[in-house]
């Protein structure tokens, strides 16, 4: 086994999920994440945690969903009970085909997602962490050779998270103190309120309310969105390519949208429920270890000199205690490149210009 | 997908587990049982059952167990809760190496098994069915080519279960009426009491209290075992080959044992707990569709002209309502060939001689 697989497992278990003896852990493994699942199982055994492995296969899900009539039972009791009694949920992504569920009808997907709201809430109540094992299908999606992709993935994952967390704390402080954010870029002029919201210093650990590995972003829950935004970073959503999506917001809601490619998918998402037409997240990528787009949201949204917005569900960590933010069965991120012709303002003050924060020196790590 | 994979899934879901809309189903898939898992997921979707897939990998289990100090938490709440709320548990065996857990120390195995008694009980309280997807590693264990093995496996699995159930009912009736069984064969002269016990017509369906696919055996829960038995069918137990094991029973308990190969494994099993030294099952193979030993208990014990005994746990279905039979964390089957120099008596009456039941015509399906 590649030593980096073991290091990945150790970072996931220790830094990210903070696993201790006696923790009840669900290990959700993709079909091609087997090697990482083995390494994580070893870490869990060493720590005396309790392991239950689940199988997360796009092909199994596709077969089930396509055969189903769409009248799904609400929150099946066995899965809900499992999550209610779980302390930790580790998702190890890694399939054989990133488009494995591409031909599942949108209305079936939506019905399935809507019927599982409480199950999702239970999962979010655990110390959950999502990561991926570098697979051939992810390499293909990134237009990269397998070995090349592994280098890329481990460069993003095996970082000095403690020092990155310190860097990101600066931006979090500014967002916590601010009331309004404005983003101006090509085909973009968007204003959101962040009053009373708490930004998350997403340093790939549950102790920072950060649930992705890799991470490296600062995000908050916006409200009262007004204006236009263009998402120029190409990505695959629900198995379909989406290119240059644009949306217009009024009173916090999407009132118009278009896309060069994948407009149907956007429409499908917006139809899920009322919350799907509002923003749940504004995130600012700060992981400069990620040096290119790979059409994988887990990596792309963390990349330095990018900003992303998510339609749908807001994370509770951004809201005052007891309050809930935007609610939806979906949470779909889309990304805009801010490395040029862009500026980010908090309460009228420019915080980032052309990808560089005001405290950064002229030469950033990312060179043109 | 091979049409037989779909037929296998349909038999499993309809005949074996009797799955209906709303059933909460755990689908436990081995790493190489993926194709069958996809076919079963489709059947579950069609029926409106609720699917949760778990991952059953020998390599994951090995890594976990070898790293653990052996002081396991009793019946972790998340796994127990899952099974408590499940109606059906489908185990789709199929790994890449049937010896994947061979180097897990016996005492760790035992401690793990003993700590999971209630979880096992919860699983046995569901409509559970164990089957296997024909894999290359199972073909190898059977000394067969992959394609050849698939033919063998589907011949055993895709049978006319309804008519086999009728054939087996005859033997069940004799066992239910009888009080004592005697088996005489090479190096074997064993007597057990079956008074008050109910035989199971194991026709591969939960409605017959039969939980294996393929099946095709009639079994009961013996008591008061006395005598000597020799298990001449070669098999692999816990990843280790066992050859010609012999045991002597007094007052129902193993008092002496030996084996040409695998004696350590037998010893390890007997040490698990008090119940591991007593028999939990006497089974009579009646599936003449299985025409050779393949070193896989799921098939071997069902083969016509064989008889098997299990150390450990008895199945409740064989006991009067409210009574429990032999209790143990283990249930380990071993097989003896009764096709020659053998006879089986119930209360002194010969029921089977040299593999042929007294009601069978001279020429059985299995020819010498």
pLDDT of residue A367: 42
DSSP code per residue over B46-64: HHTPEEEEEE--HHHHHHH
pLDDT of residue B256: 97
Minimum CA–CA partner of A86 in chain B: B78
Minimum CA–CA partner of A61 in chain B: B41
* Cα–Cα distance measured from residue A262 to residue B18, given in angstroms and rounded to the nearest whole number: 42
Task: Name the one residue in this structure whose structure tokens are 């119940």.
Answer: B275
Q: What is the mean pLDDT of residues A83-100?
A: 95
What percent of chain B has a predicted confidence (pLDDT) above 90?
A: 88
* Cα–Cα distance measured from residue B110 to residue B273, given in angstroms and rounded to the nearest whole number: 9
Q: What is the mean pLDDT of residues A224-250?
A: 94
CB A81 within 8 A of CB A121: no
Alpha-carbon torsion B306, B307, B312, B313, what sign?
positive
* Cα–Cα distance measured from residue A327 to residue B262, given in angstroms and rounded to the nearest whole number: 60
Lowest mean pLDDT among A260-264, A273-277, B5-9, B207-211: B207-211
Residues from chain A that touch B44, judged by Cβ atoms under 8 A, are: 64, 67
* pLDDT tens by residue, A139-188: 998 999 999 999 999 999 999 999 899 989 999 999 999 999 999 999 99
Alpha-carbon torsion A151, A157, A163, A168, what sign?
positive
Name the residue with higher pLDDT: B52 or B317: B52
What percent of chain A has a predicted confidence (pLDDT) above 70?
A: 98
* pLDDT tens by residue, B69-104: 999 999 999 999 999 999 999 999 999 998 899 899
Interface test with B, best of A78, A89, A103 (most B CBs within 10 A): A78
- Interface contact B57-A61, CB threshold 8 A: no
* pLDDT tens by residue, B138-152: 999 899 999 999 999
* Partner-chain residue, chosen from A45, A57, A65, that has the shortest CB–CB distance to B65: A45
**Other CB atoms closer than 10 Å to residue B166's CB: what's the count?**
12
What percent of chain A has a predicted confidence (pLDDT) above 90?
A: 88
* pLDDT tens by residue, A299-354: 999 999 999 999 999 998 899 988 889 999 899 999 999 999 999 999 999 999 99
Query: Which tokens is B252 given?
Result: 């129902």
Number of residues that this document lists for chain A: 368
ipTM for the whole complex: 0.84
Minimum CA–CA partner of A60 in chain B: B38
The count of CB pairs under 8 A between chains A and B is 151
Q: Which residues contact A291 (CB under 8 A, 6 or more apart)?
A: A152, A155, A303, A366
Confidence band of B368 (pLDDT split at 50, 70, 90): very low
* Cα–Cα distance measured from residue B314 to residue B209, given in angstroms and rounded to the nearest whole number: 13
* Partner-chain residue, chosen from B50, B66, B73, that has the shortest CB–CB distance to A76: B50
> Is 60 exceeded by the pLDDT of residue B362?
no
Confidence band of B365 (pLDDT split at 50, 70, 90): low
- Interface contact A60-B38, CB threshold 8 A: yes
Q: Which CATH number fits domain A3-157: 3.40.1830.10, 3.30.1640.10, 3.40.250.10, 3.40.50.2020?
A: 3.40.1830.10
Residues from chain B that touch A54, judged by Cβ atoms under 8 A, are: 52-55
Interface test with B, best of A40, A47, A64 (most B CBs within 10 A): A64
> Is 60 exceeded by the pLDDT of residue B366?
no
Q: Which residues contact B164 (CB under 8 A, 6 or more apart)?
A: B203, B216, B286, B287
To the nearest whole number, what is the mean pLDDT of chain B? 94
Give the predicted TM-score (pTM) of the model. Answer: 0.85
Minimum CA–CA partner of A32 in chain B: B31
Residues from chain A that touch B68, judged by Cβ atoms under 8 A, are: 45-46, 48
pLDDT of residue B88: 98
* Cα–Cα distance measured from residue B258 to residue A299, given in angstroms and rounded to the nearest whole number: 59
Min Cα distance A23 → chain B (Å) is 9
For residue A155, with 0-12 CB atoms within 10 Å meaning exposed, 13-18 middle and 19 or more buried, which class applies?
middle
Domain boundaries, chain A: 3-157, 161-357
- Interface contact A82-B78, CB threshold 8 A: yes
Query: Which tokens is A45 given?
Result: 């055994």
SS3 assignment, position B160: coil
- Interface contact A52-B50, CB threshold 8 A: no
């Amino acid at each position: 086994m590649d030593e980096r697989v073991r290091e990945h497992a150790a970072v996931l278990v220790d830094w990210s999920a903070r696993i201790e003896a006696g923790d009840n852990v669900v290990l959700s493994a993709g079909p091609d994440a087997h090697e990482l699942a083995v390494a994580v199982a070893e870490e869990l055994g060493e720590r005396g945690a309790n392991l239950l492995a689940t199988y997360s296969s796009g092909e199994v899900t596709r077969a089930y969903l396509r055969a189903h009539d769409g009248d799904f039972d609400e929150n099946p009791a066995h899965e809900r009970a499992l999550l209610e009694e779980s302390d930790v949920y580790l998702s190890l992504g890694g399939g054989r085909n990133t488009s494995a569920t591409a031909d599942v009808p949108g209305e079936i997907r939506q019905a399935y997602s809507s019927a599982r709201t409480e199950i999702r809430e239970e999962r979010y109540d655990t110390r959950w962490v999502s990561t991926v094992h570098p697979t051939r299908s992810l390499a293909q999606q990134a237009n990269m050779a397998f070995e090349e992709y592994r280098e890329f993935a481990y460069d993003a994952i095996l970082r000095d998270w403690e020092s990155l967390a310190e860097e990101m704390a600066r931006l979090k402080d500014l967002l916590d103190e601010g009331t309004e954010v404005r983003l101006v870029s090509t085909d973009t002029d968007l204003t959101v309120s962040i009053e009373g919201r708490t930004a998350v210093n997403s340093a790939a650990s549950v102790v920072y309310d950060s649930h992705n590995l890799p991470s490296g972003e600062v995000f908050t829950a916006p409200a009262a969105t007004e204006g236009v935004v263009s998402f120029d970073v190409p990505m695959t959503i629900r198995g379909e390519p989406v290119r240059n999506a644009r949306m217009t917001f009024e009173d916090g809601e999407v009132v118009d949208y278009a896309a060069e490619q994948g407009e149907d998918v956007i429409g499908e998402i917006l139809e899920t429920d009322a919350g799907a037409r509002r923003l749940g997240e504004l995130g600012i990528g700060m992981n400069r270890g990620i040096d290119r787009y790979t059409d994988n949201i887990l990596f792309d949204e963390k990349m330095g000199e990018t900003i992303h917005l998510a339609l749908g569900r807001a994370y509770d960590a951004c809201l005052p205690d007891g309050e809930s933010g935007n609610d939806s069965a979906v949470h779909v991120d889309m990304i805009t490149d801010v490395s040029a012709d862009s500026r980010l303002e908090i309460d009228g003050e420019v915080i980032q210009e052309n990808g560089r924060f005001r405290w950064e020196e002229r030469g950033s790590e990312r060179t043109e």
